[in-house]
Amino acid sequence: MIMFKNALILQLILATTLFSSSFITDREYGERLFKDPRGIGCNKCHGENGSGKIISEYVSDSGKPVTIFAPSLKFFNWQKLKKGIKKHSYFVPKYFLTKEELISISRFLEDGK
Ligand code: HEC
């Protein structure tokens, strides 16, 4: 009987640790969304941690050097993300991210790493 009880406790401990490890924080969820937002990842243009990146540099037909830069999104809150995605729709693909998803992305962008 004692052995049975111990086995049960062990199982319970195992189950809770396994179960809890399947949870991710809001920031981790935001990082996943940033890299795979149901379309091309924001990181492909804005850099791995969202601190900005040059996407392309070329010389235009009229001989003018052109740089296409995806700016840093560090510390953007969800409203700024939403507005920016819409405003820059010439470059930024159309995503259908919910407010909650944008909040998670902003958690990832605001941790300074
Ligand atoms: C194909 C490249 C590309 C991808 C992918 C992309 N962006 Fe952008 N984004 C840009 C460029 C380029 C600009 C700047 C446009 C300009 O200067 O006119 C920009 C601008 C923005 C801005 C406005 C920045 C400001 O300073 O106001 C926000 C916000 C933004 N992007 C968010 C996102 C998010 C969030 C994602 C992913 C869900 C994403 N972008 C994916 C290229 C991209």
Domain for residue 100, yes or no? Answer: yes
Q: Residue 47: CB within 6 Å of ligand 1?
A: no
Quote the number of domains for the chain.
1
CA distances for 50 relative to 14, 43, 102, 109, 111, angstroms = 37, 6, 14, 7, 11
Q: How confident is the model at residue 28 (pLDDT cuts 50, 70, 90)?
A: very high
Query: Which ligand 1 atom sits closest to the C-alpha of 102?
Result: 35
Report yes or no on 9 lying in a domain: no
In a domain, 95, yes or no: yes
Task: Evaluate if residue 4 carries a pLDDT over 70.
Answer: no
41 within domain boundaries: yes
In a domain, 88, yes or no: yes
In a domain, 19, yes or no: no
Is the confidence at residue 1, as pLDDT, over 90? Answer: no
Task: Give the CATH number of the domain where residue 81 resides.
Answer: 1.10.760
Residue 14 within a domain: no
**Domain of 86?**
25-109
Question: Mean pLDDT over residues 83-90, rounded?
Answer: 94
User: Residue 94 Cα, ligand 1 centroid: separation in angstroms?
Assistant: 10
Mean pLDDT, the chain, whole residue set? 86
pTM for the predicted model, two decimal places: 0.81
Q: Which residue has better confidence, 2 or 96? A: 96
